[in-house]
Amino acid sequence: MTRAERLRLWLKETLGYEPCDLSLFDMALTHRSAGGANNERLEFLGDAVLNLISAQYLIERFPEADEGELTRRHVSLVRRETLTEVATSLGLGAHLNAAGDDSMRSNPGVLADLCEAVIAATRANRSAERPFPRCPSPHSVSKATH
């Protein structure tokens, strides 16, 4: 079974998800040490997506909470330890593509980053009815900011 086939099967069995673009998940699970396209940009996007989704959830779940309480709850949801727990429960480390030894597969920082990158890949794979733009290339961002 190829890596792509294993990844597709894992996504279906673990998340109940069939992606339109499997390459985004492959990238989400690729550490920069592997060389080439990696998960850093997806990790960045996933952090933002997670912040938005968790903030929206908390506002809806706790309608009487003030900003301070919402912030405390938010911090608990998005902290590294929570993301590491989620990544571990999903078995993300087993799908990590990285150079070097296997210790990265259980490294809390790497696992938290994988979790954020997979969140971004899931969001970027939204259906055609509600598309999400691809991560911009560094070149297009440079043009837009000058």
C-alpha span between 76 and 73 (Å, rounded): 5
User: What is the mean pLDDT of the segment spanning 56-83?
Assistant: 96
CB atoms within 10 A of CB 66: 8
> pLDDT tier at 144 (50, 70, 90 boundaries)?
very low
| pLDDT tens track for 17-67 | 888 889 999 999 999 999 999 999 999 999 999 999 999 999 999 999 999
Choosing from 26, 43, 113, 116, which is the catalytic residue? 116
Active site residue 101: no
Give the angle subtended at the CA of 38 by the CAs of 75 and 140, to the nearest 5°. 90
Catalytic residue selected from 47, 85, 101, 129? 47
**47 in active site:** yes
The per-residue pLDDT for range 92-124, each reduced to its tens digit, is: 999 999 998 889 999 999 999 999 999 999 998
What pLDDT, on the 0 to 100 scale, is given for residue 68? 97
pLDDT at 137 over 50: no
pLDDT class of 125 with cuts at 50, 70, 90 = confident
Q: Is the pLDDT of residue 5 over 80?
A: yes
Backbone angles phi, psi at 66, to 5 degrees: -85, 175
Spell out the residues 6+ positions from residue 116 whose beta carbon is closer than 8 angstroms to its own: 42, 43, 46, 47, 50, 83
Instruction: Determine whether domain 3-128 maps to CATH 3.30.300.30.
Output: no
Owner of token pair 């390459």? 23
Q: In the structure encoding, which two tokens stand for residue 74, read together? A: 């938010």
Kindly list the domain boundaries of the chain, sorted by start residue. Answer: 3-128
